[in-house]
Each structure stands twice: as C-alpha cells, then as structure tokens.
Chains A and B, each alone.
Chain A
Amino acid sequence: MLFDFTRDERRAIIFLFFLVLSGVGVSFAQKTHGCLKRVISPDPDLAKINLNTADGTLLKTLPGVGDKLSARLISFREEQNGFRELEELKKIKGMNQAKYEKIKACLKIE
C-alpha cells in the first residue's frame, strides 16, 4: 500500500485539499473577474454602521459618542428625514472635526 493513512489522517488530508481547492477557485475568480471581488471577499461596507437605521446602542459603540450625542444624532435624523451625506454630521452639536474624522470610516449612508 502506497498510502496507509488512518481515518483521522484521511479526513485531515481531504479537508486540506478542500481548502486549497476553494482558495485556488477564489483566487482565480478574483484575478480573472475583477467585478467579483465584492462577491467573494469580505465587503468592508458590511462592517459599517448605517447612520439612517442605527439605534442608540449601536451609535454609542462609536468612539467619542455617548448618551447625549447619540440622542442628538437620532433626533437630527428624525428632523431631517434621514442623513443624505456623512458631512451633515458636523451640523450636530458636540460633533467636532476631530471626532468626525475618527468615526467617519465606521459609517455609511443607505
């Protein structure tokens, strides 16, 4: 017998081959179909907070945003019928340029 693997060893080999095959497939798709990049690798947008739907708890996870500022954000959103662009955040009391720069990468508007 050329290969005399145990059952566990066979499972591990199959899994490793499965990983390599999946990786080769994904890598090939990324290289040949640039448009597929968003479909096959993690979309950073999925990790961003939607400013128009986020509740107070989620907004408070942003650096420098506490109870008061999150409440102001929500009331501003309700008054304006939602945010249209991130720059509008600067109109809110307590949101200075430094804070805005710090959190803008974590936010999106949909």
Chain B
Amino acid sequence: MKYSMLALVLIFSLGIFSASIFKINFYLVYLLAFICLSFCLWALKQTFSFNLGLAVTFFFLGSLIYINSQILPRNHIMRFVKYKSHNLCALKGVVSSAPEIKNGRLTFVLESKELHTDNLAFVCRGKVLVSVKGLVSTLSYGDELILRGKLYRPYNFGRPRSRSGLSMLGIYCLMRVDSYGLIFLLKHHQGNPLEQIAASSKAGIEKIICRYLSPLAQSILAAMVLGEKTDIPPQVNYLMMRTGTVHILVVSGFNVGIVAFLAMLVLKILRLARKVRIILVTIILLIYCLATGACAPVVRATIMGVVLLWAYFFKRDSQIDCGLGLAAILILAFNPNQLFDIGFQLSFLSVYSLLYLYPLLKKLLRLEYFPHKLGKFFLESFFTSFSAWLGTLVPILCYFRIFSPVTPLANIFIVPLATLITLSGFSLVIVSVVLPFLAPTIACANEFFIHILLLLNTFLAGLPGAYFSL
C-alpha cells in the first residue's frame, strides 16, 4: 500500500514517456486500454489480476493523454497563422496574465477569441504572447481587447512537440503591436473570478514589498513570497544555483504550508467553525496557487495541502504519499509535457527523496539513537538536506552541469534563514494591512535577514571545492 501511489505515478509517467519516444497509433492504444479495462471488470474478485489490469490501463491512459495533448483543436489560432506574416490583423481576446514591462515593451498573454485577417473573420482559441511598444499600461488581467498588429510564428517554434518554454505554457503564436494606440479596450473583468482575485492580490503584495524594501531586498522577497524571479540579479541567482540553494527563490510546499497555517490561525482567532475554516483555507490556497503562476511545485503543494485538509474535514487518516501521487497524476493529466520540465522533475524528486530516502538513511545510520540532542538535530538536518540533494543529483548534473558538494551543508544554514525571511515577508504583508505603522520596523528586520542570507551564500559559494562546473 505504501508504494502503490508511487507505482501508479511511475506507470503513468512511463506511458507518457513511451508515447513521446515511439510513434504510437492512437486507435490501437485506445482499443488496448478498453481491452485492459474489460479485463479488470472480469477480474473484479482477483486482487492481483485486477491490479495488473489497472496498472496496464493506467500506462495506456498516460500514452493516450500525451498523444491527445499533441493535437491542437481545429480552431486553434496556430492553424490560422503563417510562419512569417507581414500583414496586419485584428485579434479579439481576453488578457490572461498580469501585464509586465520587459525590455521597454509591455507583454502579456491573450486568450484569443476572434481573428480578422485578409477580410476574413475566424472564431478561434488558444494563447498568444502579445508584445506592445511603449511603457504605459492601464491594462489588467481579465480585460477584453481588440489588438491590431502582426501575428506570427517564428521558425521552428510553436510545434506542440517542441519543449521550449513558451510551448510548455501552451503559447504557440506571438503578436507584435507597434503602439499602445492600437489597443481597443472593450470590457473589464472578463476572466475567471478566482484568477481575477489572485491577480489583484499579487499586485497588492508586490506594491507592499516595493513600498518598504530596497530594490535588492524587494527582488529576493518577491521571489520567496510570490515566486516572481524576473528581478533577481543574475549574480545572486548564479551563486544560489552553485550552492544548490536556488530552490528557496521558488514558491514551493513550504510557502503553501505557511499560507495555510496563517489562514487557519486567523480564521481560528475569528472563532469560525472547523468545516468553514477548511473550506475558506482551500479557497485561499487556490488563490495563492494562481497568484504565484500555478507552476508545478506550487500546484503539487496545493493539491497535497488540499488533500490533507479534506482528510481532516472528513476525519480520515491523511497520507502524504497519496496526496503527492495524486498531485503528480493530476498535473500530468492536465499537461503531460510537464514530465519533461525540470521544475516538475526536481520538485517531485526532492519530495519523494524526503519521503522515502530520508527514513531509509535515518534507519541505516540509527540516527534515532544518537545520544546528544543538538548533535541529533544537526545530523537529522544534514541528512534531510542530503536526501533531497541525492535525489535530485542526476537531473541537476544533466541539465545544469553543476556538481555542488556544498549543497547539503549550505541547506542546513540557508533553509532556516529562508524560512525566517519568508515568514517575515508574509508578516510584513499582513502587518502593512492591519497595523501599517509597524510595517517599516518589520521591513528593517526583513532587510537584515536578507543581507545575512546573501552574505552567507556568497561565503559558502566561495569555499574551496564548493562546486564544480562540468
């Protein structure tokens, strides 16, 4: 039972992986899946045969979902766009991301609805990355617009099988708008209401962080609280990659845990009933997940958190491995391409290592029987970090070509400090709303902790043999 969910995740992933390597016929796999399902029905009373049939069905299901995800709908915008087009077209759609200013241009993602080109109109769907010349923006998430500009697909870009960053996000087309005057706003608030709340909460938190902190501290706190990494100085990112502590700049299970804890605490103080608290915390976690960009580590942690909360709601035993397995299967079912994303791989490998490898090491080394309390704590922290490092070693070597022996040691010091910074970051956000006169004082503490973090990381990266670039 303990490893059954892990086995299901592996089988499902194997199905996706096989379909990505071999050219498999959809109808054949579909038929085989149904045959296996019928076998399960026939073997209802025989545990082994039923489980075997179910496992094979799961494998085929993984393959089918992958094959299906590689085919774009008939009215997808990519089907109407040429590789290089110089004709102006008009595109109607809804802004589906918070507009950002990058390299002197305003960029945002538009969920397309209607395309007008060459005197023809098409009803379409699919995301388009829009880039507008100019720095002034009054646009926000959920605005319905008509844009006039050049819609195109760069060469060798935008094929569903390509695993470039944008196509992983489901973006296969780009649009260039030469001036802000070519944007016509039709309506506000046309997006998902939950995403609308998430986008405005994110903007509010960013504003608070910018108001009280220096630019360097802002960039680090925004990454730790909101997962917003765009302003992180390259030098800081580079050193954290080398010491294996860059994970603290990403929103993960830890942040989701803090949000759940704080929300639970506030609702408890308000004396709300247990079941109401759980429902509200679930909604808050979903909003936080959307506000931080719903990347794999946050979605994983949110699903795990929601599973734990609802186990508590129904007064059932909560199993972390079940929540983790469910999170992996749901993420892959929604977007099978995530299997090839380094963020997804590192996130799940590190948690699985903590779940299975750490207890094994603890048992082998008899850490429980260590006589000194402080020594035991230090050793446990070291081996927790060591398990995560060992579990993610191979993908880090393959993708980043870095071998960092300093990682387990660095994490012992950096992780508690990052915990403190994240907690104080969330406190700053809450205090600036409830008791704004206290916010500058807490911001001072934040700046100090961030300074220590940077100093410590620079020191660790400078140790002899701290890392080797391969």
Contacts A40-B448, A57-B238: A24 and B265 contacting too (C-beta < 8 A)? no
Q: Does A106 belong to the interface (CB within 8 Å)?
A: yes
B residues at A contact (CB < 8 Å)? 103, 214-217, 220, 233-238, 261-262, 264-265, 268-269, 423-424, 427, 431, 438, 440-451, 454-455, 458, 469
Contacts A/B (CB < 8 Å), 17 sampled: A15-B423, A15-B427, A16-B431, A19-B445, A22-B444, A26-B444, A26-B445, A30-B444, A39-B451, A42-B447, A42-B451, A42-B454, A46-B455, A48-B235, A49-B234, A57-B238, A61-B237
Contact with B along A59-93 (1 / 0, CB 8 A): 00111000000000000000000000000000000
Q: Does A109 belong to the interface (CB within 8 Å)?
A: no
Grouping DSSP codes into helix (H, G, I), strand (E, B) and loop, the A interface class, with mixed when no group exceeds half, is helix
Contact with B along A7-39 (1 / 0, CB 8 A): 011001001100110111011001000000001
Q: Does A41 belong to the interface (CB within 8 Å)?
A: yes
Distance of A105 Cα from B262 Cα, bound (Å): 39
A40 and B424 contact, CB distance less than 8 A: no
Q: Which residues of A contact B440 (CB under 8 A)?
A: 23, 27
B441 and A23 contact, CB distance less than 8 A: yes
Q: Which residues of A contact B234 (CB under 8 A)?
A: 49, 58, 61-62, 106
Q: Does A6 belong to the interface (CB within 8 Å)?
A: yes
Distance of A19 Cα from B420 Cα, bound (Å): 9
Contacts A47-B233, A57-B238, A58-B235: A26 and B447 contacting too (C-beta < 8 A)? yes
Q: Which residues of A contact B424 (CB under 8 A)?
A: 19
**Total number of A-B contacts with CB less than 8 angstroms?**
96
Nearest CB in chain A: distance from B402 CB, A: 10
Q: Which residues of B contact A15 (CB under 8 A)?
A: 423, 427
Contacts A47-B233, A48-B233, A61-B234: A42 and B441 contacting too (C-beta < 8 A)? no
Contact partner of B448 (CB less than 8 A), chosen from A8, A41, A44, A57, is A41
Nearest-neighbor residue (CB-CB) of B103 within chain A:
A63
Q: Which residues of B contact A6 (CB under 8 A)?
A: 268
B447 and A47 contact, CB distance less than 8 A: no
Q: Which residues of B contact A41 (CB under 8 A)?
A: 214, 217, 444, 447-448, 451
Contact partner of A26 (CB less than 8 A), chosen from B423, B448, B455, B458, is B448
Nearest-neighbor residue (CB-CB) of A47 within chain B:
B233
Chain A contributes a number of interface residues (CB within 8 A of B) equal to 31
Nearest CB in chain B: distance from A21 CB, A: 8
Distance of A9 Cα from B269 Cα, bound (Å): 8
Nearest CB in chain B: distance from A18 CB, A: 8
Distance of A47 Cα from B427 Cα, bound (Å): 25
B441 and A20 contact, CB distance less than 8 A: yes
Nearest CB in chain B: distance from A10 CB, A: 11
A43 and B451 contact, CB distance less than 8 A: yes
Distance of A19 Cα from B442 Cα, bound (Å): 6
Contact partner of B442 (CB less than 8 A), chosen from A23, A48, A61, is A23
Contact with B along A90-109 (1 / 0, CB 8 A): 00000000000000001000
A20 and B454 contact, CB distance less than 8 A: no
Distance of A40 Cα from B217 Cα, bound (Å): 12
Nearest CB in chain B: distance from A108 CB, A: 9
Distance of A55 Cα from B262 Cα, bound (Å): 42
Q: Which residues of B contact A58 (CB under 8 A)?
A: 234-235, 238
Q: Which residues of A contact B262 (CB under 8 A)?
A: 12
* Listed residue (A23, A30, A42, A63) with the most chain B CB atoms within 10 angstroms of its CB: A42
